[in-house]
Structure 1
Amino acid sequence: MDAPSPDYIGHRSRLRERLISGGGDTLLDHELIEYLLMLAVPRRDTKALAKRLLAEFGGMAELLAADAGSIARVKDAGDGVVAAIKIAQAVALRVLQAEASAQPVLANWQALIDYLTARLAHQTIESVRVLHLNTRNILIRDEEMSRGSIDESAVYVREVIRRAIELGSAALILVHNHPSGDPAPSRADIDITRNVIEAGKRMGIAVHDHLIIGRGGHASLRSMGLI
C-alpha cells in the first residue's frame, strides 16, 4: 500500500493540532468524521468519504444511528469504517446512559430524554424498549423488547411484567420511537400502555410513563393525561 503523501500528512497534523488545542468545537462535522475515520483507515485520505457519509445519511446524528449494513453500502466504507462509526455511537450512548442513571430518573428527566433521543430518534425501524427502575427510581436496566410496530404482537404484556419480576423492578417506563419523526401517540400506544399498567398493578409494579421519541421531539403519555 502506498504511503500517504506529504500534503496528506500535513493536513492530518493540522486537524490534530486544532482538535488538541481548541477542542472538538474547532472542527466542522465532516472534519470530526474525517478524523475518526483516519484512526480506522490511517493510510488513506478520508475527507471525501466523510463528506459522502454525511451527505448519504443527512447529518452526524443520522450517520451514527445508521445500521452497519447501510453504512457498508456507501462507497469505500469497509469494515474498519463501519466499526469506527458504531464504536463512536456506542461511546456516546454509554456516556448519556451513565448520566441518566446517576440520579433518580424523575429528578433527572432531561438527561433521560437526551439519552433516549440519541438512541432512538434517528432509527429507521421502530424499537420498543422497557426501562426498569428500582425503589429509588434509579435506572437499573434498559432493554429492547422488540423491533417493529407497537401492537399486541410486539409488546407481550405478560413478558414485560415477567421480566420486571425477574429483575426486581419497582417501576417501569415504556419507550418506543416513531421513525416518521412525529412523536404523537397512536391508539395502539395508549391501549398497550394501559394494559401494562393494569397488569403491573396486580404485581405491585408501577408504570411511570410511556415515552415516544421522534426526530421532531418526544411525547409523554403521562404529561398528555392519557394514562
Structure 2
Amino acid sequence: MSWLSGTLMAFDLETTGTDVESDRIVTAAVVRLEADGSVSEERTWLLNPGVAIPEQASAIHGISTERAREHGLPAAAAIEEIAGAVAEGLRTGVPLVVMNARYDLSLLDRECRRYGVASVSDRLGAAPSPVIDPLVIDKHVDKYRKGKRALHALCAHYGVALDDAHDARADAVAAARVVRRMGEQHQPVGVMPLEELHGLQVHAAAEQSRSLQAYLRRTTDPAAVVEPAWPLIPRMR
C-alpha cells in the first residue's frame, strides 16, 4: 500500500527567527491527517520562549512578546511535550511531514538540548524517520520550475487551500495536503516505500545544497556554505 493512502502526521513551528542554533520556538503543532485529508487528531502549543520575540518575527506569525509571556507555556515543559508527540508518531511508523524539515527538526533538537530534554532522536534511538519534506521533494521532481517554493507558493501550485499562513496548525495541515498532491502527480514519489523515499530526500537535499552553494559562490559570496544534512543538522560541538 502506498503512503498516499495512509495516515500522515504533520509538524510545524513558528519561531523567533531563522537560526537553528540560537532562535526559539513560539508556537508548534502536531497534526494527524487521514487518507481523505481530514484531521483526526491535533495538538498545538503556545510557548513563552524566554526571550523577546523580534518585531519582524511577530509580524509574520502574529505572536507578540507580551502575549507569549502572558499566555505561553513554560518552554521546557512545552518542548518535552512537543518532542514526545513527534517521537510517539514516528514510533508507530506514521510518516512525518515537515516543510523545510532541516530547519524545524533541527530547531526542536536544539531546544531539547537547551532545556535538558530528551530529543526526538534520543527517544527513537536514531534520527527522525521516515520524514517527508514538501520543499525537498518539489525541488527534486520539478527542478527547473521558476518562482518561489515557500509553502504558500506550493499550495498555489498544487491547488491546496492555505487560509491562515504562518499559523502552525494551518501550515502543518497544508504541508501534508500538498505532499499528497505531489505524490499523486509524481508517481515515482507517490509509490515509493517510505524508507526509499526518505533516502531519496537525504541525497536530493544534499545535491540541492551543493547546487545553491555553488551558485552563491559564483554570484555573491565566494565563501558561502549551505548545509547539506537532512532532515537534521548535526549539533555543533
Using structure 2 for the length normalisation, give the TM-score: 0.24
